[in-house]
Structure 1
Amino acid sequence: MTGRPLLLATMSLALSVGVASAQKKYDAGANDTEIKIGNMMPYSGPASAYANIGKATAAYFSMINEAGGLNGRKLNFISYDDGYSPPKAVEQVRRLVESDEVLFMLSPMGTPSNAAIQKYLNAKKIPHLFPASNASRWSDPKNFPWTMASAGVGYVSEAYIYARYLLKTRPDEKIAVLYQNDDFGKELLKGLKEGLGSNVSMIVAEVSYEVTQPTIDSQIPLLKSSGATTLFSFAIPKFAAQSIKRAAQIGWSPLHFIPGVSANLNATIVPAGLDSAQGIISGTSLKDPSDPAWANDPGMTAYLSFLSRWMPDANKADQNYQFGYNVGQLMSQVLKQCGDDLTRENVMRQAANLKNVQLDTSIPGITISTSPTNYSPVNSLQLIRFQGSGWERFGDILTDDRVH
């Protein structure tokens, strides 16, 4: 081959190489064979019950890797312990970004820890995706364009929905509130007050606690003395369990609400005592594996098969595993959409371009959608009540249609 044909062949080869090169784009943390994903969990400390979220996400990615990975790339999930401590979280996220060079951060656990790392990640333009916290600050694309909110209903919306339910069904209640003295507890309290609106005077007592306290034994009698007939325990599992148990000990039987993040059989209800927990109300977006209604549901079947294969010792009643599974499934969808453009900018672009994604273990009708101006993937939940030895769904799916 000589002369013009050789020139054309050379140009054709150069063009094809250029196209292939253009199709594959990488930032640190990604290449032809691997995607590095950063994560932090409280594997120790007062919120260690949530560590099962990280364990389930790790197992989900192991399942993906065994099947060949995503678009031919294995998912390297690097998860460190931050002990539910904001200073430790800052230390660990710097390690993940600057030493491990992860492509993005996925579902770090807890409002305090995520608040501590949010500015750093946004300044570095590292995607901060689906924090395991339902605080509204993760849904602020104007000020934090690199942070995308959780795949759960936001704390403000959750408490708002509880308040609207209470006003509709029991408008004459007197309300006492126990809340964790940080963004987590304060956002739930804010949502409750927004939902009550002009009826906010229904709240007759508010008492906070610090996550470093060993117990809340003194707060519950104080709230009882207010004459309240409804109690909201805006608390993580350890303290939600204590509030249920302590109320029973002092003979107080208010209508009792706990947040969805604490509607956990092993971490909350069992320590509190099943008898003491009867009638507790919460909300969820997840199917209950013990509910016969999902016995033949394809999504639940897929989830239970995953547990049997990858986490055979997991307690199926622990919804932290479901949350972690959902995080893995949702992130896999984002990465599929990314294709071979694994730049941080495109990861963020695809996370903000999800359309009615139905996750395996989410209740039908509760789907995930995002856009460049909507960083709140979910704003609906199903009310649940603890009866006998498990949770029962009741009423319709409820939605907060406001924009936060």
Structure 2
Amino acid sequence: MRALAACATVAAALLAGLVGVAGLPGAFAGRAAEPGITPTEIILGGTAPLTGPASAYASVARGAEAYFRHVNARGGVHGRKIAYRYVDDAYNPALAVSATRQLVEDDGVFAVFNSLGTEGNLAVRGYLNQRRVPQLFVASGATTFGRDFRRYPWTIGFQPSYEAEGWIYGTFLARTRRGAKVAVLFQNDEYGKDLLAGLRRGIARSGVKVVATQRYDASAPDVGSQIATLEASGADTLALFATPKFATQAYLFAERLAWRPLVLVNAVSSASNVMRAAAVEAPRAVEGSVSLAYFKDPGDVRWRDDAGMKL
């Protein structure tokens, strides 16, 4: 997914800029014992779903890797090349834990960078903070990564929070579709729950009501039964708080049911290439969908000649 790869590239650029402008405390002050720092390289690691139900997000790690190659080809950072090692966690928190331990204890990384997924990052946060290994630019918008910085000072997020995103959708409905009846499909983890909580805050004290919710697990084969249940609720608006695989399925099942609600689709599933793919199978269900974006999508032709999109 090109838009997600772009998001990772932004994080990689932030990291390179942070190191290049300010330096990393201790790492460049002659401390020979700093893990993952040598006279010639900075070793970073991360986990990503290269396989499994969220394998579309493999492009996040590959986008970061491409940017680090770009930085290295131009001399690296303070004369050091960035060695970036990422391991498949299949979007499974247990695998994320074992892979992160491998990166820290066997590979000796200086920091864990841009690992993707809310549950995986939550599963390793305590371990990394205990070991004082930086958990940099967590690829999740879960509210906890910004809210709980005092408890976990070695963890840094960078995405806007999912709860804030949900609040924006709720506010949009409260202002433009008073009396809307909303059905919500959400992933059964902090990611989906944060979005739903934000939506409820946004519609508070308005005439908009959530009339049905259905959760799904990331390991589920499909969301057909959930969409059928939501359609039967009589809702005229559908909020998809789901990753690309399941959001695309939701559109397809809505199309088959001839259900035509206004669809709010969260940012992680609204990249232009994802929406175009969904529109091939479910053109009527996709038409008129509402989402938001917080970075320029390289898959969108409007940014083709934009100076900010070029290295």
**TM-score normalised per structure 1:** 0.67
The two structures, once aligned, show a CA RMSD in angstroms of: 1.8
**Structure 2 equivalent of residue 280 of structure 1:** 289
Pick the aligned partner of 1:237 from 237, 240, 244. 244
**Structure 1 equivalent of residue 151 of structure 2:** 143
1:268-314 CA distances to partner (integer Å, 9 max, x unpaired)? 54145261311111111122345554344211233xxxxxxxxxxxx
Asked if residue 106 in structure 1 is aligned to residue 113 in structure 2, the reply is: yes
**Structure 1 equivalent of residue 308 of structure 2:** 299
Q: 1:62 to 1:290 in 2, by over 3 A?
A: closer
Asked if residue 58 in structure 1 is aligned to residue 65 in structure 2, the reply is: yes
**What fraction of aligned residue pairs are identical, expressed as a percent?**
39
**Structure 2 equivalent of residue 33 of structure 1:** 40
Offset, 1:200: 8.0
Letter of the 2:222 partner, please give it: T
Query: Matched residues in 2 for 1:291 and 1:207: separation?
Result: 31
Q: What secondary structure sits across from 2:51 in the alignment?
A: coil
Q: 1:164 to 1:271 in 2, by over 3 A?
A: closer
Quick check: 1:232–1:257 contact (8 Å CA) kept in 2? yes
Pick the aligned partner of 2:214 from 199, 202, 207. 207
Q: What secondary structure sits across from 1:175 in the alignment?
A: strand
Query: Matched residues in 2 for 1:93 and 1:282: separation?
Result: 33
Q: What secondary structure sits across from 2:138 in the alignment?
A: coil
Q: What secondary structure sits across from 1:257 in the alignment?
A: strand
**Structure 2 equivalent of residue 225 of structure 1:** 232
Rg larger for = 1
Asked if residue 261 in structure 1 is aligned to residue 268 in structure 2, the reply is: yes
Query: Matched residues in 2 for 1:289 and 1:108: separation?
Result: 21
- What pairs with 1:2-401 in structure 2 (closer than 5 Å)? 23-25=29-31, 27-139=34-146, 140-150=148-158, 152-199=159-206, 202-267=209-274, 269-271=276-278, 273=281, 275=283, 276-289=285-298, 291=300, 293-302=302-311
Quick check: 1:238–1:267 contact (8 Å CA) kept in 2? no
**Structure 2 equivalent of residue 383 of structure 1:** none
Question: Unaligned stretches of 5+ in structure 2?
Answer: 1-26
1:122-166 CA distances to partner (integer Å, 9 max, x unpaired)? 11111111111110111121211111113x211000011111111
Quick check: 1:295–1:301 contact (8 Å CA) kept in 2? no
Letter of the 1:279 partner, please give it: G
Query: Matched residues in 1 for 2:60 and 2:253: separation?
Result: 28
Query: Matched residues in 1 for 2:273 and 2:126: separation?
Result: 34
**Structure 1 equivalent of residue 15 of structure 2:** none
Quick check: 1:231–1:256 contact (8 Å CA) kept in 2? yes
**Structure 1 equivalent of residue 13 of structure 2:** none
Select the structure with the greater relative contact order (CA < 8 A; seq sep ≥ 6).
Answer: 1
Question: Unaligned stretches of 5+ in structure 1?
Answer: 1-20, 303-404
1:102-130 CA distances to partner (integer Å, 9 max, x unpaired)? 01111101111111111111111111111
Query: Matched residues in 2 for 1:22 and 1:97: separation?
Result: 20
Query: Matched residues in 2 for 1:299 and 1:254: separation?
Result: 36
Query: Matched residues in 1 for 2:29 and 2:156: separation?
Result: 26
Quick check: 1:237–1:267 contact (8 Å CA) kept in 2? yes
Letter of the 2:289 partner, please give it: I
Q: What secondary structure sits across from 1:65 in the alignment?
A: helix
Quick check: 1:238–1:268 contact (8 Å CA) kept in 2? no
Query: Matched residues in 2 for 1:36 and 1:158: separation?
Result: 33
Query: Matched residues in 2 for 1:301 and 1:249: separation?
Result: 41
